[in-house]
Amino acid sequence: MALEDFRADAMRCTRCAYCKWIPFDHVKSWKYAKGCPSIEAGKFHSYSAGGRLVTALSLMDGRSTVTPAVEDSVFKCTMCGLCDVSCKLCRYDMEPLAAMSELRATLVEDGHVPAQVEPILKSLRTEFNMLQKPRAERGNWAKELGLKDLSKEQAEVVFHAGCRYSFDGDLGHVAKASVKILKQAGLDFGIMGENESCCGGRAHTMGHRKDMHTRATHNLTAWKKAGVKTIVTPCSDCYHAFKRLYASTEGSEIQVLHMVEIVDQLLKDGKLKLTKAVNKKVTYHDPCHLGRQGEPFVAWNGVEKKIFGQAVAYEPARPRYNGAFGIYEAPRNILKAIPGLQFVEMERIKEAAWCCGSGGGCKETYPDFALSTANQRLDEAQSTGADAIVSACPWCERNFLDANQEGASKLEVLDIIALVEQAL
Amino acid sequence: MEISRDAYRAIEDIVGAENISDDPAFLDSYAFQWLAELVRPENSHYMPRPWAVVLPATTEEVQAIHRVCNKYGIKIKPISTGWYHWAAPMKDNEPTIQIDLRRMDKIISIDEKNMVAVVEPYVTCAQLQAEVMKLGLNINIIGAGCSTSIVASASTYFGAGPSSYYMGNNSDNLLGQEWVTPGGDVVLTGSLSSDCGWFCGEGPGPSLRGVTRGNMGSRGGLGTYTKCAIKLAPWHGAAVLEPQGPPPAYRLPIPENTRVYTIGVPSWDAFAETYLNIYDNEIGYIFHRQFNLAGADLAPALWLTYLRPDGTMNDVETASKDPEMQKLADEGRISFQIILQGRSVDEVKLQDKILDAIMAKTGAYKVGRFCEQDFAEFTHMYLQRLGHKHCNFIWVGGYMGSWMQAGIPDFVKNYSPVAIDGFYRDQKQSDGLVQCGGDALMGCGSSISGGGYFGFEQFVSYDPNDKASVQACVKHMYDAIDDCKANGIPLGKEYIYLMIGWPDEQIWNDFSKAPQTFVLHFQRKIKEHFDPRELGDRNYPWLPKGMGQPNFITQS
Ligand SMILES: Cc1cc2nc3c(=O)[nH]c(=O)nc-3n(C[C@H](O)[C@H](O)[C@@H](O)COP(=O)(O)OP(=O)(O)OC[C@H]3O[C@@H](n4cnc5c(N)ncnc54)[C@H](O)[C@@H]3O)c2cc1C
Ligand code: SF4
Ligand code: SF4
């Protein structure tokens, strides 16, 4: 695709501003009606999906050029996709998230890369992770666990821990808890250990598509060699990369499962029993990449056609990603199955969830923006009376932990798989 | 066009560097407006580009900005949520500051007992409704939907919605304003200015409703409204709306004290008769001809597909060929939606009985499929929150509302067939418009508080990405004007849209033929007083001295 392919989206944007708010039917208060972290931070219309469509149009038509202000407005966005859901509430011919992704990629191609990104990209290219850690330490979390090493052995299932769970000392226990559950369920699986590589999904959302392609090629080749048919991951960023981005850009057909899907199924099948009480009141934060962006990929290669004279349809019918089929129930089923646990919902949930602030490379590129976005989520979580906020993505959890360190809330930040482990 | 750096710096000093921008791409995001393509040279999507955009946080900042504009002779154009070309600068080569009010987004107070809320401009209808519902109260959300600013519809533009029938038009619901005049004064209207609080727009204190507001409103042409008080209405539903199901067609369960119907009628005469009877009997909480925006031929195919989260336009096309769907289109050809809400279950039962009696008398009937639970719950959600109004653009991202003249039911029933025939003719002449049948008339049950007076607009859908389609729409606008003239009907909305592209002299020439030109001369006097440097744009209409029919005020 090229930016020009999104001209029609821009021309057909009505400037309705739905993309700044959660789907209006779900608005329950003044405070938590807001949906777009970017416009909350940047304030000018350009910091919204609709605004970026105009930016794209204006640049394409030579009415403006890429200035530092334009760069800031294009990159200071978590690519959370809330705007996409809200826009598509009433439209079948708009793809604002894809258009924003294209705008980023175009700027990157033209050499507009925020300076903060350089060392992160260097780490990705040399150490295969974005956390600027030595590649050799990647498999350390699994050292004593005696897991199959799929760089040498074969298995149909690979457990992919992801960069955060591999390197982040506060979160590594989640990877361990995950493999414990998989073992208990009797699954034949392995890991790539030191040879596991970043999924590249974050690089892609930051506009560095070639970097994702390199990572994807590495991963897909390694999995093929090991006979892998299914990837299991506790990380929602990786999940989205494998399920949606690898499928759309690399043609990958490998089955991708998040740990919550596995646990939910094991509970349903009676293969996993949660017996220990966890006496906490918790709320659940839907990670964008598991929730509204976690919908199944449907291959499509078509063109626009007009029906009824001027209405827009596609030949063949274009799949509709509007957040309806994200992974929402699996984590909720799990939480409801934990004895002693009291589960309460926030106002903005499922496809209408407020982003944690970490996505789109913002944790790395705009740390203050990432933290202020997290603050707003923690504030909402606290308003439910919960003791803890639970999520299913290490990037959300890291950002919440960091925000708490700056005094955002006293809420415990928990990973859902770690909670399951407690209840085993 | 550039204005001096001195002026820029003076405003920067007021709001801080991070709250002002003159980056061309940022400015384009304000110039880009829906409908511009119908009225701008070369069908450009851009209204004139403002010179800078500024984000004030307080009334004091707005006032200080106005004063700088006075000093340097810069035009002022406020914007709240900004869903229309009215919010953009109107003329090229007029240095204009766009005052984006998004930082002024607070609900100042909700007076539950006196049923008044006071809000800043960037409070949307959805936000205010959600808060007041917790107190058993509601607001009239305009037909543009809940994404819009309550200050905008109350203070400065129109103000009618599906609930105006029961809750009033926002021009009437306006109970006071804090107004920064173009000249830079802060004026408080009504009881507020007598230190009596926000409860009455007419006083004690100056009643300026007729000056600042009127029927149409000044559309950003007469300074900036920084707060307004809005009248609240009773709400007998849940404290919090809990929509069910996946997007896009969220459903709102219908409680025992509520009924949601789509009612069909056999003819326009029967429509007027049914409307009048409903009005006379004072039943109904919401009254709207909503789903016909898709066109009577296609409405069932579109909306029944919309109910499915994975439905696509291709499915709409397939469904439209289904004979069952065509039958349904005929059944609902002339139809409208009504919501009854009672303070008690008994009351809604009574309203139901009255409605049944009216239908028996006028030949009206319930459109079966649209009254089934799934569709009724969807209708309930749609109309209570009005959170799907972007569906106005569902076909292809562009629609223009022609006609929309309001009047008593007999007036509407007489012009509707003319509007339908004309639109059908234009669809047949050109494939530039969405072919949805001649009747895409849609509108609220009332254009004034309490009902009895309403109008419909034709939903003329065109592709903003296709110049030929845009031009077909422009042609329809001129055709609609001709149809009005040929049938002795006053001109509709297309006329005021087209005026945007005209030079002042052409507008004044038309104004001067208005039946009561003294109004426009009176408005000139108002402008001279509050806007001596002419910093507001021509959305606040007036006539130069000596033009038009002479009367008591023209020559003064
Ligand atoms: C799809 C659509 C359907 C519509 N249907 C209806 C309808 O059924 N009923 C109805 O009443 N209206 C309708 N309108 C018009 C609507 O009332 C106005 O567009 C407006 O009130 C919308 O609010 P906004 O926040 O987008 O205002 P904006 O677009 O921001 O502003 C509207 C006008 O008010 C001015 N303005 C805004 N804020 C201020 C302020 N604080 N001080 C001074 N001037 C200000 C702007 O300059 C502009 O001229 C419709 C508009 C659209 C886009
Ligand atoms: S991107 Fe979509 S939701 Fe946002 S302003 Fe444009 S049309 Fe509206
Ligand atoms: S992706 Fe998220 S942060 Fe970015 S514009 Fe959309 S809603 Fe805003």
Check whether residue B380 and residue B412 sit in a common domain.
Answer: no
Domains of chain A: 1-112 (no CATH), 116-268 (3.40.50.1860)
Give chain A positions within 8 Å (CB) of B246. 323-325, 351
Any idea which ligand is nearest the CA of A17?
Answer: 2
A13 Cβ below 6 A of ligand 2: yes
- pLDDT, mean of residues A347-370: 97
| Of the residues B202, B234, B266, the one at which a domain ends | B234
Check whether residue B438 and residue B508 sit in a common domain.
Answer: no
Complex ipTM > 0.90: yes
Which has more confidence, B211 or B52?
B52
- pLDDT, mean of residues B400-421: 96
- pLDDT, mean of residues A152-166: 97
Tell me if B123 is assigned to some domain. Answer: yes
CB within 8 Å: B26 and A44 = yes
Q: How confident is residue B554, by pLDDT bands cut at 50, 70 and 90?
A: very low
Ligand 3 proximal residues by C-beta, below 6 Å? A 35-38, 48-49, 77-83, 355
Check whether residue B94 and residue B119 sit in a common domain.
Answer: no
Q: SS3 sequence, chain A? A: CCHHHHHHHHHCCCCCCHHHECCHHHCCCCHHHECCHHHHHHCCHHHCHHHHHHHHHHHHCCCCCCCHHHHHHHHCCCCCCHHHHHHHCCCCCCCHHHHHHHHHHHHHHCCCCCHHHHHHHHHHHHHCCCCCCCHHHHHHHHHHHCCEECCCCCCCEEECCHHHHHHCCCCHHHHHHHHHHHHHCCCCEEECHHHCCCCCHHHHHCCCHHHHHHHHHHHHHHHHHCCCCEEEECCHHHHHHHHHHHHHHHCCCCEEEEHHHHHHHHHHCCCCCCCCCCCCEEEECCCCCCCCCCCCCCCCCCEEEEECCCEEEEECCCCCCCCCCCCCHHHHHHHHHCCCCEEECCCCCHHHCCCCCCCCCHHHHCHHHHHHHHHHHHHHHHCCCCCEEEECCHHHHHHHHHHHHCCCCCCEEEEHHHHHHHHC
Q: Which atom of ligand 2 is nearest to the CA of A53?
A: 1
Q: How confident is residue B1, by pLDDT bands cut at 50, 70 and 90?
A: low
**Interface mutation vs chain A, best among B19, B27, B29, B385, most A CBs within 10 Å:** B29
pLDDT in tens, B146-168: 999 999 999 999 999 999 999 99
- pLDDT, mean of residues A365-394: 98
**Interface mutation vs chain B, best among A13, A25, A59, A66, most B CBs within 10 Å:** A25
Check whether residue B148 and residue B260 sit in a common domain.
Answer: no
Tell me if B239 is assigned to some domain. Answer: no
B141 Cβ below 6 A of ligand 1: no
Check whether residue B121 and residue B160 sit in a common domain.
Answer: yes
Check whether residue B135 and residue B95 sit in a common domain.
Answer: no
Q: Which atom of ligand 1 is nearest to the CA of B444?
A: 8
- pLDDT, mean of residues B452-481: 97
CB within 8 Å: B396 and A30 = no
Q: B535, B523, B544: which is closest to B181 by C-alpha?
A: B535
Task: Specify the residue with its C-alpha closest to ligand 1, atom 15.
Answer: B144
Structure tokens at B233: 């209405």
For position A252, what pLDDT does the model report? 97
pLDDT in tens, A299-316: 999 999 999 999 999 999
Check whether residue B214 and residue B349 sit in a common domain.
Answer: no
pLDDT in tens, A196-250: 999 999 999 999 999 999 999 999 999 999 999 999 999 999 999 999 999 999 9
Check whether residue B124 and residue B166 sit in a common domain.
Answer: yes
Tell me if B240 is assigned to some domain. Answer: no
For position B464, what pLDDT does the model report? 98
| Of the residues B100, B120, B135, the one at which a domain ends | B100
Check whether residue B438 and residue B410 sit in a common domain.
Answer: yes
Tell me if B243 is assigned to some domain. Answer: no
Give chain A positions within 8 Å (CB) of B395. 308, 310-312
pLDDT in tens, B263-283: 999 999 999 999 999 999 999
CATH number (domain holding residue B320): 3.30.70.3450
Check whether residue B497 and residue B515 sit in a common domain.
Answer: no
CATH number (domain holding residue B179): 3.30.465.10
Tell me if B40 is assigned to some domain. Answer: yes
pLDDT in tens, B519-549: 999 999 999 999 999 999 999 999 999 898 7
Tell me if B241 is assigned to some domain. Answer: no
pLDDT at residue B556 above 50?
no
- pLDDT, mean of residues B28-46: 97
Domain that holds residue B527: 502-534+546-556
Check whether residue B386 and residue B431 sit in a common domain.
Answer: no
For position B367, what pLDDT does the model report? 98
Which of A15, A55, A89 is closest, CB to CB, to B388?
Answer: A89
The pLDDT > 90 percentage for chain B reads 90
- pLDDT, mean of residues A319-328: 97
CB within 8 Å: A28 and B240 = yes
| Number of separate domains in chain B | 5
Q: B467, B462, B413: which is closest to B441 by C-alpha?
A: B413
Tell me if B92 is assigned to some domain. Answer: yes
For position B555, what pLDDT does the model report? 43
Check whether residue B26 and residue B88 sit in a common domain.
Answer: yes
Tell me if B541 is assigned to some domain. Answer: no
